[in-house]
Structure 1
Amino acid sequence: MTDGQCANARRAAWLAVLSMAAVGITACGHKRQPQPVPPTATAPPVYNTPSYPAPAPRPSTGGIPITPVPEGGISAEDKEFILSHRPIYSEEGQATWYTAPYKGRKAANGQVFSDGALTAAHRTLPMGSLIVVTNLRTRQASAMRISDRGPFVPNAILDLTKASAQSIGIWPGSGRVRVDVYGTPKPMDVGGRWCVQIGPFTSASKAIRFKEKLLRDYAGSRVIEFSGERSYWVRIRPEGDDREQAEEMARRLEPDEGVAYLTRLD
Protein backbone atom coordinates (compact mmCIF):
# COMPACT_ATOMS: atom_id res chain seq x y z
CA MET A 1 0.00 0.00 0.00
CA THR A 2 1.38 3.43 -0.96
CA ASP A 3 1.70 6.35 1.51
CA GLY A 4 -1.27 8.03 -0.17
CA GLN A 5 -3.41 4.90 0.19
CA CYS A 6 -2.43 4.61 3.89
CA ALA A 7 -3.39 8.24 4.49
CA ASN A 8 -6.75 7.71 2.76
CA ALA A 9 -7.40 4.60 4.84
CA ARG A 10 -6.64 6.45 8.10
CA ARG A 11 -8.88 9.32 7.00
CA ALA A 12 -11.75 6.94 6.19
CA ALA A 13 -11.38 5.23 9.58
CA TRP A 14 -11.52 8.57 11.43
CA LEU A 15 -14.60 9.67 9.52
CA ALA A 16 -16.29 6.38 10.40
CA VAL A 17 -15.53 6.87 14.10
CA LEU A 18 -16.68 10.49 14.17
CA SER A 19 -19.90 9.71 12.29
CA MET A 20 -21.31 7.42 15.00
CA ALA A 21 -24.66 8.77 16.21
CA ALA A 22 -27.86 7.38 17.67
CA VAL A 23 -31.00 7.82 15.53
CA GLY A 24 -34.61 7.97 16.71
CA ILE A 25 -33.84 8.26 20.39
CA THR A 26 -36.63 9.15 22.79
CA ALA A 27 -36.26 10.89 26.14
CA CYS A 28 -36.01 8.82 29.29
CA GLY A 29 -34.96 9.20 32.91
CA HIS A 30 -31.56 8.33 34.25
CA LYS A 31 -29.53 7.86 37.32
CA ARG A 32 -26.09 9.41 37.55
CA GLN A 33 -23.46 7.06 38.90
CA PRO A 34 -20.12 8.89 38.83
CA GLN A 35 -17.18 6.94 40.13
CA PRO A 36 -15.03 8.56 42.83
CA VAL A 37 -12.17 9.40 40.47
CA PRO A 38 -10.96 13.03 40.45
CA PRO A 39 -10.55 14.69 37.03
CA THR A 40 -7.08 15.61 35.84
CA ALA A 41 -6.11 18.28 33.32
CA THR A 42 -3.18 17.51 31.01
CA ALA A 43 -2.44 20.86 29.37
CA PRO A 44 -3.09 24.58 29.86
CA PRO A 45 -5.84 26.03 27.65
CA VAL A 46 -4.70 27.77 24.46
CA TYR A 47 -6.86 29.78 22.08
CA ASN A 48 -5.79 28.77 18.58
CA THR A 49 -8.75 28.27 16.26
CA PRO A 50 -8.32 30.59 13.26
CA SER A 51 -11.41 29.22 11.51
CA TYR A 52 -13.69 30.68 14.19
CA PRO A 53 -14.54 34.40 14.43
CA ALA A 54 -13.18 36.50 17.28
CA PRO A 55 -15.63 37.13 20.14
CA ALA A 56 -17.74 40.25 19.80
CA PRO A 57 -17.60 42.95 22.50
CA ARG A 58 -20.17 42.38 25.23
CA PRO A 59 -21.73 44.34 28.07
CA SER A 60 -20.52 43.44 31.55
CA THR A 61 -23.93 42.22 32.69
CA GLY A 62 -27.21 41.07 31.21
CA GLY A 63 -28.51 38.10 29.24
CA ILE A 64 -26.32 35.52 27.54
CA PRO A 65 -26.73 35.38 23.73
CA ILE A 66 -27.66 32.08 22.06
CA THR A 67 -24.66 30.06 20.85
CA PRO A 68 -26.12 27.68 18.24
CA VAL A 69 -24.64 24.30 17.35
CA PRO A 70 -25.28 22.42 14.07
CA GLU A 71 -28.37 20.25 13.78
CA GLY A 72 -27.53 16.93 15.36
CA GLY A 73 -24.59 18.53 17.15
CA ILE A 74 -21.87 17.89 14.57
CA SER A 75 -21.52 18.89 10.91
CA ALA A 76 -19.40 17.52 8.08
CA GLU A 77 -17.26 20.66 8.34
CA ASP A 78 -16.61 19.86 12.01
CA LYS A 79 -15.30 16.41 11.08
CA GLU A 80 -13.04 17.88 8.40
CA PHE A 81 -11.73 20.43 10.90
CA ILE A 82 -10.84 17.69 13.38
CA LEU A 83 -9.02 15.69 10.70
CA SER A 84 -6.81 18.64 9.79
CA HIS A 85 -6.06 20.04 13.27
CA ARG A 86 -4.55 18.97 16.56
CA PRO A 87 -6.29 19.34 19.96
CA ILE A 88 -5.63 22.63 21.72
CA TYR A 89 -6.51 21.29 25.18
CA SER A 90 -7.08 17.88 26.78
CA GLU A 91 -8.36 16.63 30.11
CA GLU A 92 -9.38 13.30 31.61
CA GLY A 93 -12.11 12.50 34.08
CA GLN A 94 -15.44 10.84 34.66
CA ALA A 95 -18.34 11.27 32.23
CA THR A 96 -22.00 10.73 33.01
CA TRP A 97 -25.13 11.08 30.86
CA TYR A 98 -28.33 13.08 31.28
CA THR A 99 -31.68 13.87 29.72
CA ALA A 100 -34.11 16.76 29.89
CA PRO A 101 -36.67 16.60 32.72
CA TYR A 102 -39.41 17.79 30.34
CA LYS A 103 -40.02 18.11 26.59
CA GLY A 104 -38.91 21.42 25.08
CA ARG A 105 -36.40 22.25 27.81
CA LYS A 106 -33.68 24.56 26.50
CA ALA A 107 -30.01 23.83 26.95
CA ALA A 108 -27.74 26.54 28.32
CA ASN A 109 -26.74 27.60 24.79
CA GLY A 110 -30.34 28.68 24.11
CA GLN A 111 -31.39 25.84 21.81
CA VAL A 112 -33.91 23.11 22.65
CA PHE A 113 -32.19 20.11 24.22
CA SER A 114 -32.19 16.90 22.17
CA ASP A 115 -31.38 13.38 23.38
CA GLY A 116 -30.40 12.52 19.80
CA ALA A 117 -27.84 15.28 19.28
CA LEU A 118 -24.12 14.71 19.65
CA THR A 119 -23.69 17.34 22.34
CA ALA A 120 -22.46 17.49 25.93
CA ALA A 121 -22.44 19.63 29.05
CA HIS A 122 -19.24 21.02 30.58
CA ARG A 123 -18.89 23.54 33.40
CA THR A 124 -16.20 25.80 31.94
CA LEU A 125 -15.47 25.16 28.24
CA PRO A 126 -16.79 27.99 26.02
CA MET A 127 -20.26 27.29 24.69
CA GLY A 128 -20.10 25.73 21.24
CA SER A 129 -16.64 24.20 21.74
CA LEU A 130 -15.82 21.38 19.31
CA ILE A 131 -14.52 18.30 21.16
CA VAL A 132 -13.71 14.63 20.66
CA VAL A 133 -14.53 12.37 23.60
CA THR A 134 -12.74 9.01 23.96
CA ASN A 135 -13.84 6.15 26.21
CA LEU A 136 -10.56 5.26 27.91
CA ARG A 137 -11.65 1.66 28.51
CA THR A 138 -12.87 0.75 25.01
CA ARG A 139 -11.13 3.51 22.95
CA GLN A 140 -14.45 4.38 21.27
CA ALA A 141 -14.39 8.04 20.24
CA SER A 142 -16.92 10.54 18.95
CA ALA A 143 -17.00 14.21 18.03
CA MET A 144 -19.55 16.49 19.70
CA ARG A 145 -20.14 20.09 20.76
CA ILE A 146 -20.65 21.75 24.12
CA SER A 147 -24.21 23.06 24.33
CA ASP A 148 -25.03 22.88 28.04
CA ARG A 149 -23.64 23.38 31.54
CA GLY A 150 -22.89 20.62 34.01
CA PRO A 151 -22.37 18.08 35.41
CA PHE A 152 -23.10 19.48 38.86
CA VAL A 153 -21.98 16.39 40.73
CA PRO A 154 -18.57 15.79 42.35
CA ASN A 155 -15.80 13.98 40.45
CA ALA A 156 -17.32 14.29 36.97
CA ILE A 157 -16.21 16.61 34.18
CA LEU A 158 -18.69 15.89 31.36
CA ASP A 159 -22.40 15.17 30.95
CA LEU A 160 -23.39 13.45 27.69
CA THR A 161 -26.67 13.24 25.85
CA LYS A 162 -28.01 9.76 25.28
CA ALA A 163 -26.72 9.79 21.68
CA SER A 164 -23.28 10.98 22.78
CA ALA A 165 -23.07 8.38 25.55
CA GLN A 166 -24.11 5.61 23.16
CA SER A 167 -21.57 6.75 20.55
CA ILE A 168 -18.67 6.07 22.95
CA GLY A 169 -20.18 3.05 24.68
CA ILE A 170 -21.01 4.31 28.18
CA TRP A 171 -24.82 4.28 28.03
CA PRO A 172 -26.45 3.57 30.39
CA GLY A 173 -23.91 4.34 33.05
CA SER A 174 -20.69 6.32 33.27
CA GLY A 175 -17.05 5.93 32.39
CA ARG A 176 -13.64 7.53 32.39
CA VAL A 177 -12.97 9.59 29.27
CA ARG A 178 -10.47 11.90 27.61
CA VAL A 179 -11.83 15.18 26.28
CA ASP A 180 -9.80 16.68 23.42
CA VAL A 181 -10.80 20.24 22.51
CA TYR A 182 -10.31 21.11 18.82
CA GLY A 183 -12.00 24.49 18.56
CA THR A 184 -13.61 27.17 20.70
CA PRO A 185 -15.71 30.07 19.34
CA LYS A 186 -14.34 32.22 22.20
CA PRO A 187 -10.98 32.22 24.01
CA MET A 188 -10.55 29.72 26.81
CA ASP A 189 -7.91 31.57 28.78
CA VAL A 190 -9.14 35.18 28.76
CA GLY A 191 -12.51 36.89 29.05
CA GLY A 192 -15.72 34.96 29.43
CA ARG A 193 -18.74 35.45 31.66
CA TRP A 194 -18.37 33.58 34.92
CA CYS A 195 -20.46 32.65 37.93
CA VAL A 196 -20.62 30.18 40.80
CA GLN A 197 -23.47 27.67 41.05
CA ILE A 198 -24.13 26.28 44.53
CA GLY A 199 -26.16 23.22 45.43
CA PRO A 200 -28.09 21.10 45.47
CA PHE A 201 -30.15 22.24 48.45
CA THR A 202 -32.88 19.94 49.72
CA SER A 203 -35.49 22.70 50.10
CA ALA A 204 -36.36 26.06 48.58
CA SER A 205 -36.16 27.73 51.99
CA LYS A 206 -32.51 26.65 52.45
CA ALA A 207 -31.63 27.94 48.99
CA ILE A 208 -33.33 31.27 49.71
CA ARG A 209 -31.48 31.66 53.02
CA PHE A 210 -28.16 31.06 51.30
CA LYS A 211 -29.10 33.52 48.57
CA GLU A 212 -29.83 36.19 51.20
CA LYS A 213 -26.45 35.53 52.83
CA LEU A 214 -24.67 35.98 49.49
CA LEU A 215 -26.50 39.25 48.83
CA ARG A 216 -25.21 40.53 52.18
CA ASP A 217 -21.66 39.27 51.73
CA TYR A 218 -21.17 40.21 48.07
CA ALA A 219 -22.78 43.58 47.43
CA GLY A 220 -23.02 44.35 43.72
CA SER A 221 -23.28 40.71 42.70
CA ARG A 222 -26.34 39.23 41.02
CA VAL A 223 -27.78 36.29 42.95
CA ILE A 224 -30.73 34.06 42.07
CA GLU A 225 -32.22 30.86 43.40
CA PHE A 226 -33.95 28.34 41.17
CA SER A 227 -35.30 24.82 41.22
CA GLY A 228 -33.84 21.84 39.40
CA GLU A 229 -34.97 18.24 39.10
CA ARG A 230 -36.01 17.48 42.70
CA SER A 231 -33.42 19.99 43.94
CA TYR A 232 -32.78 23.69 44.54
CA TRP A 233 -29.83 25.83 43.50
CA VAL A 234 -28.28 29.26 43.97
CA ARG A 235 -26.22 31.11 41.38
CA ILE A 236 -24.05 34.17 42.02
CA ARG A 237 -22.63 36.33 39.24
CA PRO A 238 -19.89 38.69 40.41
CA GLU A 239 -19.88 42.25 39.16
CA GLY A 240 -18.90 42.22 35.49
CA ASP A 241 -19.10 38.40 35.44
CA ASP A 242 -15.39 38.55 36.28
CA ARG A 243 -13.54 35.24 36.27
CA GLU A 244 -11.05 36.04 39.05
CA GLN A 245 -13.84 37.13 41.38
CA ALA A 246 -15.87 34.01 40.55
CA GLU A 247 -12.85 31.78 41.20
CA GLU A 248 -12.27 33.45 44.57
CA MET A 249 -15.94 33.00 45.49
CA ALA A 250 -15.81 29.31 44.54
CA ARG A 251 -12.79 28.81 46.81
CA ARG A 252 -14.26 30.66 49.78
CA LEU A 253 -17.90 29.58 49.74
CA GLU A 254 -18.77 26.80 52.16
CA PRO A 255 -22.47 25.98 51.78
CA ASP A 256 -24.26 23.90 54.42
CA GLU A 257 -25.44 21.65 51.59
CA GLY A 258 -24.03 20.90 48.17
CA VAL A 259 -20.92 22.22 46.47
CA ALA A 260 -19.86 25.55 44.94
CA TYR A 261 -19.08 24.98 41.23
CA LEU A 262 -17.16 27.49 39.11
CA THR A 263 -19.17 27.83 35.89
CA ARG A 264 -18.84 29.75 32.63
CA LEU A 265 -22.06 31.19 31.26
CA ASP A 266 -21.06 31.94 27.65
Structure 2
Amino acid sequence: MISIKPVFGWVLLSALLISCSSNKPSSRYDMDQDKGPDRPVDMSHVPDAVPKVEPRTRAGNKNPYTVLGKTYYLIEDESSYKERGYASWYGEKFHGHDTSNGEVYDMYAMTAAHKTLPIPSYVRVTHLENGRSVVVRVNDRGPFHEGRIIDLSYAAAQRLGISQTGTGPVEVEIVMPGDTPPPPLKPDDRPASQADGVYLQVGAFSSRQSAQALQRKVASATGERVFISEFMAAKALYRVRIGPLANQQAVTRVRARLPEAGVYSSHVVQD
Protein backbone atom coordinates (compact mmCIF):
# COMPACT_ATOMS: atom_id res chain seq x y z
CA MET A 1 0.00 0.00 0.00
CA ILE A 2 1.30 3.47 -0.88
CA SER A 3 0.99 5.93 1.97
CA ILE A 4 0.08 9.57 1.36
CA LYS A 5 2.20 12.09 3.18
CA PRO A 6 0.19 14.37 5.49
CA VAL A 7 0.88 17.54 3.49
CA PHE A 8 -0.07 15.97 0.18
CA GLY A 9 -3.15 14.41 1.79
CA TRP A 10 -4.29 17.80 3.05
CA VAL A 11 -3.82 19.35 -0.39
CA LEU A 12 -5.79 16.52 -1.98
CA LEU A 13 -8.58 16.85 0.60
CA SER A 14 -8.72 20.63 0.09
CA ALA A 15 -8.97 20.17 -3.66
CA LEU A 16 -11.84 17.73 -3.23
CA LEU A 17 -13.69 20.11 -0.91
CA ILE A 18 -13.29 23.00 -3.33
CA SER A 19 -14.52 20.83 -6.19
CA CYS A 20 -17.60 19.76 -4.24
CA SER A 21 -18.42 23.26 -3.02
CA SER A 22 -18.19 24.67 -6.55
CA ASN A 23 -21.21 22.56 -7.52
CA LYS A 24 -23.40 24.24 -4.94
CA PRO A 25 -25.31 27.38 -5.97
CA SER A 26 -23.73 30.53 -4.56
CA SER A 27 -25.83 32.95 -2.55
CA ARG A 28 -28.12 35.01 -4.74
CA TYR A 29 -26.92 38.05 -2.82
CA ASP A 30 -23.49 37.59 -4.41
CA MET A 31 -25.01 38.83 -7.69
CA ASP A 32 -25.79 42.56 -7.89
CA GLN A 33 -28.19 42.34 -10.83
CA ASP A 34 -30.25 39.49 -12.14
CA LYS A 35 -29.61 38.17 -15.64
CA GLY A 36 -30.40 35.41 -18.08
CA PRO A 37 -28.05 32.66 -19.25
CA ASP A 38 -24.57 33.66 -20.43
CA ARG A 39 -25.29 32.21 -23.87
CA PRO A 40 -28.55 32.52 -25.83
CA VAL A 41 -30.86 29.57 -25.14
CA ASP A 42 -33.89 28.90 -27.35
CA MET A 43 -36.95 28.32 -25.12
CA SER A 44 -39.49 27.98 -27.94
CA HIS A 45 -39.61 24.19 -27.47
CA VAL A 46 -40.48 24.33 -23.74
CA PRO A 47 -44.13 23.22 -23.35
CA ASP A 48 -46.74 25.01 -21.28
CA ALA A 49 -47.34 23.85 -17.73
CA VAL A 50 -50.22 21.36 -17.47
CA PRO A 51 -52.67 22.13 -14.65
CA LYS A 52 -53.22 19.31 -12.18
CA VAL A 53 -54.51 18.87 -8.64
CA GLU A 54 -51.65 19.22 -6.15
CA PRO A 55 -51.45 19.50 -2.36
CA ARG A 56 -50.98 23.00 -1.00
CA THR A 57 -48.59 23.13 1.91
CA ARG A 58 -48.64 25.60 4.76
CA ALA A 59 -45.02 26.49 3.99
CA GLY A 60 -45.96 27.80 0.58
CA ASN A 61 -49.18 29.49 1.65
CA LYS A 62 -48.47 31.49 4.78
CA ASN A 63 -51.44 33.81 5.17
CA PRO A 64 -51.06 36.67 5.74
CA TYR A 65 -47.38 37.38 5.17
CA THR A 66 -45.33 40.56 5.23
CA VAL A 67 -42.58 41.69 2.83
CA LEU A 68 -40.83 45.07 2.91
CA GLY A 69 -43.30 46.34 5.48
CA LYS A 70 -46.40 45.40 3.47
CA THR A 71 -48.84 42.67 4.47
CA TYR A 72 -50.41 40.47 1.81
CA TYR A 73 -53.51 38.26 2.07
CA LEU A 74 -53.93 35.24 -0.17
CA ILE A 75 -56.94 34.99 -2.48
CA GLU A 76 -59.38 32.57 -0.85
CA ASP A 77 -61.15 31.62 -4.08
CA GLU A 78 -59.00 32.01 -7.17
CA SER A 79 -61.54 30.46 -9.56
CA SER A 80 -62.52 33.84 -11.09
CA TYR A 81 -59.10 35.49 -10.96
CA LYS A 82 -58.18 37.67 -13.93
CA GLU A 83 -55.92 40.71 -13.83
CA ARG A 84 -54.06 43.06 -16.15
CA GLY A 85 -50.80 44.76 -15.38
CA TYR A 86 -47.08 44.34 -16.00
CA ALA A 87 -45.06 41.15 -15.92
CA SER A 88 -41.36 40.95 -15.12
CA TRP A 89 -39.01 37.96 -14.98
CA TYR A 90 -36.22 36.55 -12.82
CA GLY A 91 -33.31 34.34 -13.78
CA GLU A 92 -29.73 33.43 -12.86
CA LYS A 93 -29.72 35.29 -9.53
CA PHE A 94 -32.37 32.91 -8.14
CA HIS A 95 -31.69 29.84 -10.31
CA GLY A 96 -31.00 26.82 -8.09
CA HIS A 97 -32.31 28.45 -4.91
CA ASP A 98 -35.48 27.61 -2.98
CA THR A 99 -38.82 29.08 -3.97
CA SER A 100 -41.45 30.03 -1.38
CA ASN A 101 -42.79 26.47 -1.14
CA GLY A 102 -39.36 24.85 -0.85
CA GLU A 103 -39.01 23.76 -4.47
CA VAL A 104 -35.84 24.64 -6.35
CA TYR A 105 -36.24 27.49 -8.83
CA ASP A 106 -35.48 26.49 -12.42
CA MET A 107 -35.38 29.45 -14.79
CA TYR A 108 -35.77 27.06 -17.74
CA ALA A 109 -39.13 25.71 -16.50
CA MET A 110 -42.56 27.26 -17.06
CA THR A 111 -43.13 28.76 -13.62
CA ALA A 112 -43.94 32.12 -12.05
CA ALA A 113 -44.15 34.07 -8.81
CA HIS A 114 -47.34 35.79 -7.65
CA LYS A 115 -48.14 37.77 -4.51
CA THR A 116 -51.56 36.40 -3.55
CA LEU A 117 -52.52 33.30 -5.58
CA PRO A 118 -52.37 29.98 -3.69
CA ILE A 119 -49.24 27.90 -4.35
CA PRO A 120 -49.35 26.00 -6.58
CA SER A 121 -51.74 27.60 -9.05
CA TYR A 122 -51.79 27.69 -12.84
CA VAL A 123 -52.40 30.77 -14.95
CA ARG A 124 -52.41 31.75 -18.59
CA VAL A 125 -50.31 34.84 -19.22
CA THR A 126 -50.98 36.74 -22.46
CA HIS A 127 -48.83 39.58 -23.77
CA LEU A 128 -51.26 42.39 -24.58
CA GLU A 129 -49.13 43.84 -27.38
CA ASN A 130 -47.93 40.82 -29.36
CA GLY A 131 -50.66 38.27 -28.50
CA ARG A 132 -48.25 35.57 -27.33
CA SER A 133 -49.55 33.34 -24.55
CA VAL A 134 -48.16 30.77 -22.09
CA VAL A 135 -49.51 28.67 -19.20
CA VAL A 136 -47.26 28.67 -16.13
CA ARG A 137 -47.28 27.11 -12.67
CA VAL A 138 -47.12 29.55 -9.75
CA ASN A 139 -44.70 28.21 -7.13
CA ASP A 140 -43.13 31.36 -5.68
CA ARG A 141 -43.96 34.75 -4.15
CA GLY A 142 -43.36 38.11 -5.84
CA PRO A 143 -42.83 40.42 -7.60
CA PHE A 144 -42.63 43.05 -4.86
CA HIS A 145 -42.23 46.01 -7.22
CA GLU A 146 -44.96 48.61 -7.69
CA GLY A 147 -47.08 48.02 -10.78
CA ARG A 148 -45.95 44.44 -11.47
CA ILE A 149 -48.44 41.59 -11.02
CA ILE A 150 -46.42 38.49 -11.95
CA ASP A 151 -42.75 37.47 -12.10
CA LEU A 152 -42.06 34.91 -14.83
CA SER A 153 -39.29 32.39 -15.26
CA TYR A 154 -36.74 33.14 -17.98
CA ALA A 155 -38.30 30.44 -20.19
CA ALA A 156 -41.80 31.93 -19.93
CA ALA A 157 -40.46 35.47 -20.43
CA GLN A 158 -38.61 34.48 -23.59
CA ARG A 159 -41.66 32.76 -25.05
CA LEU A 160 -43.74 35.87 -24.37
CA GLY A 161 -41.11 38.18 -25.83
CA ILE A 162 -40.17 40.13 -22.69
CA SER A 163 -36.80 38.56 -21.86
CA GLN A 164 -35.06 41.44 -23.64
CA THR A 165 -37.36 44.29 -22.61
CA GLY A 166 -37.49 43.19 -18.95
CA THR A 167 -41.22 43.86 -18.50
CA GLY A 168 -44.37 43.83 -20.61
CA PRO A 169 -48.14 44.44 -20.35
CA VAL A 170 -50.03 41.21 -19.76
CA GLU A 171 -53.33 39.66 -18.81
CA VAL A 172 -53.13 36.90 -16.20
CA GLU A 173 -56.05 34.46 -15.92
CA ILE A 174 -56.47 31.45 -13.66
CA VAL A 175 -56.56 27.96 -15.15
CA MET A 176 -58.16 25.41 -12.84
CA PRO A 177 -57.12 21.73 -12.99
CA GLY A 178 -59.44 19.85 -15.34
CA ASP A 179 -60.44 23.02 -17.18
CA THR A 180 -59.47 23.85 -20.72
CA PRO A 181 -57.01 26.74 -20.48
CA PRO A 182 -58.67 30.00 -21.51
CA PRO A 183 -57.79 30.83 -25.11
CA PRO A 184 -55.30 33.60 -25.89
CA LEU A 185 -56.78 37.05 -26.31
CA LYS A 186 -57.97 38.00 -29.74
CA PRO A 187 -56.23 40.97 -31.38
CA ASP A 188 -59.42 43.02 -31.16
CA ASP A 189 -60.00 42.41 -27.44
CA ARG A 190 -60.31 45.72 -25.64
CA PRO A 191 -58.15 46.61 -22.63
CA ALA A 192 -59.95 46.63 -19.31
CA SER A 193 -59.71 50.42 -19.16
CA GLN A 194 -61.92 50.66 -22.27
CA ALA A 195 -64.48 48.04 -21.32
CA ASP A 196 -67.80 48.56 -19.57
CA GLY A 197 -68.33 47.50 -15.98
CA VAL A 198 -64.75 47.60 -14.64
CA TYR A 199 -64.37 46.79 -10.94
CA LEU A 200 -61.50 46.28 -8.54
CA GLN A 201 -61.75 43.23 -6.31
CA VAL A 202 -59.87 43.78 -3.06
CA GLY A 203 -60.79 40.69 -1.09
CA ALA A 204 -62.84 37.49 -0.90
CA PHE A 205 -64.03 35.91 2.35
CA SER A 206 -66.04 32.98 3.60
CA SER A 207 -67.25 35.24 6.44
CA ARG A 208 -69.70 38.06 5.74
CA GLN A 209 -68.45 39.91 8.83
CA SER A 210 -64.87 39.91 7.51
CA ALA A 211 -66.06 41.18 4.14
CA GLN A 212 -68.07 43.96 5.76
CA ALA A 213 -65.10 45.02 7.88
CA LEU A 214 -62.93 45.39 4.77
CA GLN A 215 -65.78 47.12 2.92
CA ARG A 216 -65.92 49.84 5.57
CA LYS A 217 -62.14 50.39 5.60
CA VAL A 218 -61.86 50.57 1.80
CA ALA A 219 -64.84 52.92 1.45
CA SER A 220 -63.35 55.25 4.05
CA ALA A 221 -59.92 55.25 2.40
CA THR A 222 -61.05 55.65 -1.23
CA GLY A 223 -64.36 57.49 -1.07
CA GLU A 224 -65.62 55.11 -3.78
CA ARG A 225 -68.64 52.82 -3.94
CA VAL A 226 -67.63 49.54 -2.29
CA PHE A 227 -70.02 46.60 -2.32
CA ILE A 228 -70.10 42.90 -1.47
CA SER A 229 -70.80 40.43 -4.26
CA GLU A 230 -72.14 37.14 -2.90
CA PHE A 231 -71.26 33.89 -4.62
CA MET A 232 -73.43 31.10 -3.28
CA ALA A 233 -72.24 27.56 -3.98
CA ALA A 234 -71.40 24.67 -1.67
CA LYS A 235 -69.72 27.31 0.47
CA ALA A 236 -70.67 30.98 0.47
CA LEU A 237 -68.09 33.48 -0.75
CA TYR A 238 -68.26 37.23 -0.17
CA ARG A 239 -66.23 39.31 -2.62
CA VAL A 240 -65.40 42.92 -1.78
CA ARG A 241 -65.38 45.07 -4.93
CA ILE A 242 -65.00 48.74 -5.85
CA GLY A 243 -66.77 50.32 -8.78
CA PRO A 244 -67.75 50.63 -11.45
CA LEU A 245 -64.64 52.62 -12.42
CA ALA A 246 -64.67 54.67 -15.61
CA ASN A 247 -61.15 54.15 -16.95
CA GLN A 248 -57.57 53.11 -16.21
CA GLN A 249 -56.83 56.47 -14.61
CA ALA A 250 -59.60 55.83 -12.09
CA VAL A 251 -58.25 52.34 -11.40
CA THR A 252 -54.76 53.74 -10.79
CA ARG A 253 -56.08 56.50 -8.56
CA VAL A 254 -58.10 54.09 -6.41
CA ARG A 255 -55.23 51.61 -6.13
CA ALA A 256 -53.00 54.39 -4.83
CA ARG A 257 -55.38 54.87 -1.87
CA LEU A 258 -55.82 51.19 -0.97
CA PRO A 259 -52.72 50.95 1.29
CA GLU A 260 -54.53 53.35 3.63
CA ALA A 261 -57.00 50.50 4.20
CA GLY A 262 -54.25 47.92 4.56
CA VAL A 263 -54.83 46.52 1.07
CA TYR A 264 -51.77 45.98 -1.14
CA SER A 265 -53.17 43.68 -3.78
CA SER A 266 -56.22 43.97 -6.05
CA HIS A 267 -57.33 42.71 -9.43
CA VAL A 268 -59.62 43.97 -12.16
CA VAL A 269 -62.87 42.12 -12.84
CA GLN A 270 -65.54 42.83 -15.43
CA ASP A 271 -69.27 42.21 -15.05
Q: TM-score scaled by structure 2?
A: 0.40
Of structures 1 and 2, the one scoring higher in RCO (CA 8 A, sep 6+) is: 1
Q: TM-score scaled by structure 1?
A: 0.40
The structure with the larger Rg is: 2
